[in-house]
């Protein structure tokens, strides 16, 4: 009984000592492993940096078995990728600028909302001659030159209206912006019996076309473009054909109206491929 009582404390002390020794060994092992790992990291970092301190990186990358080969290879790939992206942006910008200079209507800046497709192309319409003469043989208004053409076709054949209205021969703008406006009229002048004399037959007759704009803030239509032709014909011909075409860029606002006048509306040949009028939004 005395022996058993004395061996109990000794066994507990031995177990405590064993646990302490195991803890010390684990601690020393972890500290040593951490120190070794840090040493390896520092060595790798120093070796990686030392690979970049050489005077000729190209010669290092040429030797595939060299320890610095992987470092320099990754560096070259990174440089090539960066330069490729940089030159691609420069080339794209240069091409866009050049195309924009030559064809400004094609290259547009990116916008949050797409540019609306606004366009109209109206053509000649073969309405009865009495209706034409009754509606267009009068001047288009005070301080407006020529006679207004009011019998344009906006739906059939080659004609179309896209977000633009056609009212009384006038195109009504729905979106503000810069528009390309164009017009062509084809004159078919029939010679009367009174013009068979030499004096009149040798004389030219001017044919003019005008494009006007109406705005809500100004009472008088504004002349945008005009063009003129002097028609001359031989004495033996029954009629003569002459065309007048013009176009240009103009800023327009919502509610502006465009219309065409000519010196002699009854002489206009209203074939859809010969006489037409239109506008489309550029920007």
Q: β-strands 222-231, 165-167: how paired? A: unpaired
3-state secondary structure 78-145: HHHHHHHHHHHHHHHHHHHHHHHHHCCCCCCCCCCCCCCCCEEEEECCCCCHHHHHHHHCCECCCCCC
Please state, in angstroms and rounded to a whole number, the distance separating the CA atoms of residues 147 and 124.
15
Q: How far apart are CA 83 and CA 87, in angstroms?
A: 6
Distance of CA 74 to the CA centre of its chain: 39
Identify the helix (H) or strand (E) that includes residue 237. Answer: none
Helix, coil or strand: residue 124 = coil
Give me the helices (H) in 1-68, please. 2-51, 57-62
Longest pairwise C-alpha distance within the chain: 162
Q: How far apart are the first and last CA of the chain?
A: 110
Buried-state track 224-242, b at ≥16 Cβ within 10 A, e below 16:
bbebebeeebeeeeeebeb
3-class SS at 248? strand
Residue 126 · residue 107 · CB < 8 Å: no
The response to whether 68 counts as a known ligand-binding position is: no
For the annotated binding site for Zn(2+), the residues are 232
For the annotated binding site, the residues are 232
């Amino acid at each position: 009984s005395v022996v058993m009582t004395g061996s109990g404390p000794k066994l507990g002390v031995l177990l405590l000592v064993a646990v302490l020794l195991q803890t010390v060994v684990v601690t020393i092992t972890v500290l040593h492993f951490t120190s070794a790992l840090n040493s390896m990291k520092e060595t790798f970092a120093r070796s990686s940096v030392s690979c970049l301190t050489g005077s000729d990186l190209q010669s290092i990358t040429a030797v595939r078995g060299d320890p610095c080969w992987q470092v320099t290879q990754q560096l070259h790939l990174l440089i090539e990728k960066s330069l490729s992206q940089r030159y691609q942006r420069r080339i794209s910008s240069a091409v866009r600028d050049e195309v924009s200079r030559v064809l400004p209507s094609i290259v547009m800046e990116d916008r949050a909302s797409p540019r609306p497709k606004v366009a109209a192309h109206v053509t000649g319409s073969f309405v009865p001659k009495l209706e034409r003469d009754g509606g267009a043989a009068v001047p288009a208004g005070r301080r407006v030159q020529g006679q207004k053409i009011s019998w344009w076709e906006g739906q059939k054949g080659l004609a179309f209206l896209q977000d633009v209205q056609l009212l009384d021969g006038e195109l009504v703008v729905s979106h503000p912006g810069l528009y390309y406006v164009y017009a062509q009229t084809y004159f078919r002048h029939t010679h009367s019996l009174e013009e068979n004399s030499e004096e009149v037959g040798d004389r030219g007759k001017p044919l003019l076309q005008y494009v006007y704009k109406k705005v809500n803030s100004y009472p008088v239509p504004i002349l945008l473009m005009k063009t003129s032709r002097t028609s001359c014909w031989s004495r033996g011909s029954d009629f003569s054909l002459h065309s007048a075409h013009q176009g240009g860029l103009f800023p327009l606002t919502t509610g502006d109206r465009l219309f065409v006048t000519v010196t002699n509306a009854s002489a206009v040949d209203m074939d859809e491929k010969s006489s037409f009028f239109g506008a489309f939004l550029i920007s």
